[in-house]
Amino acid sequence: MPVFEWRTTVPFPADEVYAWHARPGAFERLSPPWQHTRVIERSGDVEHHGSLVFEYGNGPLRGRWVAVHGDAEPGRRFSDRQLHGPFEEWEHTHSFIPQGPGRCLIEDHVEFRLPLGAAGDLFGGLPAKHFLTRLFRFRHERTLADLTRHAGHAGEPRLRVGVTGASGMIGRQLTAFLESGGHSVVRIGRGLPERPGDVLWDPARGKLVAASLEGLDAVVHLAGESIGHRWTAARKRRILASRRQGAELLAGTMAAMNHPPRALLSASAVGYYGGERGAKVLTEASTSGLDFLAEVCREWEAALTPASAAGVRVAPLRFGVVLSAAGGALERMLPVFRAGAGGPFGSGAQWMSWVSLDDLIGAVTGLLYAETVDGPVNVTSPAPLTNREFVTTLGYVLRRPAVIPLPAAAVRAMFGEMGEVTLLGGQRVVPERLDKAGFTFRYGELEAALRLELGRLTA
């Protein structure tokens, strides 16, 4: 049976690395964004023969994997065995081997058999090894990055955090990161509760029970209507209403509580500054813009006022373009750029303020603890780029040309006002307050961020 192994030494004790892998959220953090993995069902844990069912892939390439945990030696190892999935057989042993004080070797040992017997080994052996190399290179980089982030708060208490929009692109990874770090997450949403303790709310009807927020240290508000579609008059009303209503409901509910959560971190966007600012460097002190997104962000942030007036620490988070291969702008760009047909939007001179999803999550977590930071915070990379520089780097990482422009007239015809504001407009935003708070970007340069998200890491 073919065997694959991948090893990395990390500056953390074996017990700590094992514990991180065994917590809820670790699997989601270890799932590469380009695989579009979604957990369907889980039971038990790695030490009690727990099981995991998840989907992977998109469209006709979507599949289902069923695995069971076993062979656990607490603090040192556990295994996963495929019951159903793309391999004929799959046995994966995770080992954490002490390497002296404060260090351990992570060793992933996989024994697998491909379908179709000898023919599968002959024609699929090399692609399988490439797949596994790409997978485990990502997993070990993500493990090291997350452990390093959590270590920055090792002396702080674990938090109980409410999250709206927990099923979205950002929310899924934020909740997974927090849970894998030992924090407790309460999901606040409109659907039926998926887990004990989930909180139901209905912003359109103003329904949220204040008692459900009791005992929370903080709330992170991420919910809102997507802006990534052509803006009809009706959609613009929904975009504005969803942000205003959600923020008003949370802020008003918290303001009326005797003991509200200490902090409310609420998503906003660099769209606050408007898309017409040219190359001017923008900080949190810069004025707002004139277009529709600027109006939305102003109302979004203003709706938080009741909470801040009641003494809650409120921080609107002005996100840049969030880079993830699992959603958002980058995912939509990938098919065209992989085909070699990508290039600048319009002139390509407009500035793009972006942020890696991992750094965004690290910044949000850091701000949960930053008791002196309130008011707006730019959550963007310290290295904004022009659109032309952005697409050139994306093409370089994908090893594809990126020279075919999408003319401004075509952008306007295809996307209307949304394209005019979000694709042809731009802002040159810098994270001044994060910098002053001492936040460290791990993926502050675009190439490093894209290599992580696209599985193009180098040894």
| Residue 404, CB-side half-sphere exposure with 13 Å CA sphere | 10
Contact between 367 and 313 under an 8 Å Cβ cutoff? The reply is no
Domain edge (last residue) among 151, 168, 200: 151
Check whether residue 342 and residue 432 sit in a common domain.
Answer: yes
Check whether residue 224 and residue 97 sit in a common domain.
Answer: no
CA distance 46 to 67: 11
Check whether residue 291 and residue 418 sit in a common domain.
Answer: yes
Picking from 323, 270, 316, the residue whose alpha carbon sits closest to that of residue 293 is 270
Q: Write the pLDDT tens digit of every residue in 308-319.
A: 999 999 999 999
How many separate domains does the chain show?
A: 2
Q: CATH number of the domain at 443, please.
A: 3.40.50.720
Q: Write the pLDDT tens digit of every residue in 372-405.
A: 999 999 999 999 999 999 999 999 999 999 999 9
Return the pLDDT at 459. 57
56 strand-pairing partners: 63
Check whether residue 407 and residue 302 sit in a common domain.
Answer: yes
Picking from 215, 305, 314, the residue whose alpha carbon sits closest to that of residue 264 is 314
The answer to whether position 459 is within a domain reads no
Contact between 186 and 161 under an 8 Å Cβ cutoff? The reply is yes
**Whether residue 192 has pLDDT greater than 80:** no
Transcribe 1-34 into DSSP letters: --EEEEEEEESS-HHHHHHHHHSTTHHHHHS-GG
Q: Where are the beta strands (DSSP E) in 201-312?
A: 218-221, 263-269, 276-282
Return the pLDDT at 223. 94
Return the pLDDT at 195. 76
The answer to whether position 130 is within a domain reads yes
Contact between 323 and 354 under an 8 Å Cβ cutoff? The reply is yes
Give the chain's radius of gyration (CA, Å).
23
The answer to whether position 343 is within a domain reads yes
Containing 322, the helix (H) or strand (E) segment is: strand 321-323
Residue 44 region by backbone torsions, left for phi larger than 0, else alpha for psi between -120 and 50, else beta:
left
Distances (CA, A) of 351 to 143, 288, 345, 383, 409: 32, 16, 11, 11, 19
Q: Residue 67 — φ and ψ, nearest 5°?
A: -130, 155
Q: Where are the beta strands (DSSP E) in 131-183?
A: 160-164
Could you give the percent of the chain with pLDDT greater than 90? 91
Contact between 112 and 127 under an 8 Å Cβ cutoff? The reply is no
Transcribe 250-270 into DSSP letters: HHHHHHT-SS--SEEEEEEEG
> Which residue range(s) make up the domain with 434?
160-454
Distances (CA, A) of 75 to 13, 16, 19, 152: 9, 8, 7, 22
Contact between 38 and 55 under an 8 Å Cβ cutoff? The reply is yes
Picking from 5, 8, 27, 30, the residue whose alpha carbon sits closest to that of residue 110 is 5
**Whether residue 151 has pLDDT greater than 80:** yes
The answer to whether position 267 is within a domain reads yes
**Whether residue 332 has pLDDT greater than 70:** yes
Mean pLDDT calculated for residue range 211-237: 94
157 contacts: CB under 8 Å, gap ≥ 6: none
Q: CATH number of the domain at 126, please.
A: 3.30.530.20
Check whether residue 134 and residue 180 sit in a common domain.
Answer: no
Return the pLDDT at 123. 65
The answer to whether position 36 is within a domain reads yes
Check whether residue 187 and residue 95 sit in a common domain.
Answer: no
Check whether residue 260 and residue 112 sit in a common domain.
Answer: no
Range of lowest pLDDT (113-122, 134-143, 237-246)? 113-122
Return the pLDDT at 294. 97
Check whether residue 141 and residue 172 sit in a common domain.
Answer: no
**Whether residue 356 has pLDDT greater than 70:** yes
The answer to whether position 253 is within a domain reads yes
Instruction: Indicate the pLDDT class of residue 122, thresholds 50, 70 and 90.
Output: low
Return the pLDDT at 197. 83
In whole numbers, what is the pLDDT of the chain averaged over residues?
95
Check whether residue 134 and residue 172 sit in a common domain.
Answer: no
Question: Distance of alpha carbon 166 from its chain centroid, rounded?
Answer: 11
Domain edge (last residue) among 105, 134, 151: 151
State how beta strands 184-189 and 160-164 pair. parallel
Distances (CA, A) of 43 to 76, 84, 175: 21, 16, 18
The answer to whether position 378 is within a domain reads yes
Please, is 48 exposed, middle or buried when counting C-beta atoms within 10 Å of its C-beta (0-12, 13-18, 19+)? Answer: exposed
Check whether residue 331 and residue 357 sit in a common domain.
Answer: yes
Check whether residue 138 and residue 175 sit in a common domain.
Answer: no
Tokens 């039971």 locate to 43
CA distance 324 to 178: 18
Containing 73, the helix (H) or strand (E) segment is: strand 63-73
Amino acid at 80: D
Domain edge (last residue) among 151, 186, 216: 151
CA distance 408 to 83: 51
**Whether residue 427 has pLDDT greater than 70:** yes
Contact between 133 and 6 under an 8 Å Cβ cutoff? The reply is yes
Check whether residue 365 and residue 447 sit in a common domain.
Answer: yes
Q: Write the pLDDT tens digit of every residue in 203-217.
A: 999 999 999 999 999
